[in-house]
Amino acid sequence: MTLQKTARLHLSDLVQRLSRESRQLIQVLVGPRQVGKTTLSLQVIQQLTSPHVYVSTDNVTSKANEWIGLQWESVRLRLKQENAKEYVLVIDEIQKLDNWSEAIKAEWDYDTIHNIPIKVMILGSSRLMLQQGLSESLAGRFETTYVGHWSYPEMKASFGLGLDEFIWFGGYPGSMHLIAEEDRWKQYIVSAFIEASINRDIILLTRIDKPALMRRLFELGCSYSGHILSFNKILGQLLDAGNTTTLSNYLRLLDTAGLLGGLEKYAPDKIRQRASSPKFQVYNTALLSALQPLDFGQVRTNLPMWGHWVESAVGAHLINAAWSKGFKLYFWREANYEVDFVLTYKGKTVAIEVKSGPTKITRGLDAFKKKYNPYKSLLVGKNGFPIEDFLLLDPIMLFD
């Protein structure tokens, strides 16, 4: 299957909204870098019968209201000249413009008042920047589509990746041409994805007093993906670390860029939930592998190390699905009992334990079941639900 035929999971929904539905809401595509947002938007407009315009904010130096106003007025002029029933305007990398949401609001509201049929889709790589702009100025005028990292079914269909290759090389389609030369692949992941995301989607758009600290937190968090660490313990491993509030804020920013998340502990008491130490979770195992000095073969034959990658792959599958499907993702630990992942959705709870080795011990699951009586509990691994089958599964189906 080719890259274009893969088309991600949102293509038909977006085509439906922009072609068959009346002009009601701005369509917002948000997600990490290099996951195919631009490609998806181009695939969408190729399937539209309405005329369309695609523009990007790259290299824009003028003010947001001036530039956006010029693009919008150009579309209005085309609409009249071509006597079209409607037009579609697509703006890529919108978060690079200061005060972009106010400019979008002004143009959208003008069209609404004057019954001008211009439909709009905007794209951005920073969830935080988009969420701030959307909530501040565009409340009630948009709906969001989260475009996450590529899943195992997509990478398998498009590039023929086997299970172990996917667990190691992850879900960055743009890096697949380099996997035969692993050192080059690692350098590419670091420069094209890690550094670009931190520099352009976080530091450039947000005030960061200690950028070196943020990078070190990311590296440490990747190496401990799948582990629960208190911020106080992290402070002991970092120089010039500031305080736990700084680390918590930096982790939140890394999460919004689709790099590294910090799962909260599952607890009915929301205060206890938020006060818990986070469980680090990479959004893409390529990030974990790129920072690992050992190569694929060395890690694969080290079963304890490989178990770390397997659990991270399951977690990455879940954390990306959580954003796109709308369920909540946690971990659980109490005394000596632990459950790797706890999912909640519409009043239902699913507990998941990952075991890459032959063990059948599920004390954590047993304790969780006894205390919370979840809708479903699942052992993922050699003596349970197979890892490959789980990575092929849409997690929302766990609630059926």
pLDDT score recorded for residue 239? 60
User: DSSP label at 138?
Assistant: -
Closest CA to 193 of 310, 279, 263, 289: 289
Q: What's the confidence (pLDDT) of residue 352?
A: 97
Which pair of tokens denotes residue 168?
A: 């190691």
Residue 4: per-residue pLDDT: 35
Q: How many CB atoms lie within 10 A of CB 160?
A: 10
Q: If residue 28 lies in a helix (H) or strand (E), which one and from where to where?
A: strand 26-30
Give CA–CA dist 319/341, Å, rounded.
Answer: 10
Q: What is the mean pLDDT of each run of 10 residues along the chain (400 residues)?
A: 48 93 93 88 94 92 88 97 96 87 94 97 76 73 90 94 98 95 97 90 82 90 91 72 81 92 87 72 97 97 95 97 93 94 97 85 92 96 93 95
| C-alpha dist (Å) from residue 173 to 159, 177, 259 | 8, 9, 16
DSSP 78-114: HHHHTT-S-EEEEEESGGGSTTHHHHHHHHHHHHHHT
Look at residue 3 in the predicted model and tell me its pLDDT.
34
**pLDDT on residue 372:** 96
Describe the chain by its helix, strand, coil percentages, rounded to 5. Answer: 50, 20, 30
Which class is domain 3-146? alpha beta
Q: What is the pLDDT of residue 240?
A: 60
CB distance 98 to 62 below 8 Å: no
Q: Which residues contact 344 (CB under 8 A, 6 or more apart)?
A: 266, 327, 328, 330, 350
The pLDDT assigned to 64 comes to 81
How many beta carbons lie within 10 A of that of residue 62, not counting itself? Answer: 11
Alpha helices in the chain (DSSP H): 3-6, 11-15, 37-46, 64-81, 100-113, 127-137, 152-159, 163-169, 182-188, 196, 211-223, 231-235, 244-256, 270-275, 285-290, 296-300, 303-325, 363-372, 387-392
Q: Exposed e or buried b for every residue in 356-365, given b needs 16+ CB within 10 A? A: beeeeebebb
What's this model's pTM, rounded to 2 decimal places?
0.87
pLDDT of residue 202: 85
- Could you state, in order of their start, the residue ranges of all structural domains in the chain? 3-146, 152-399
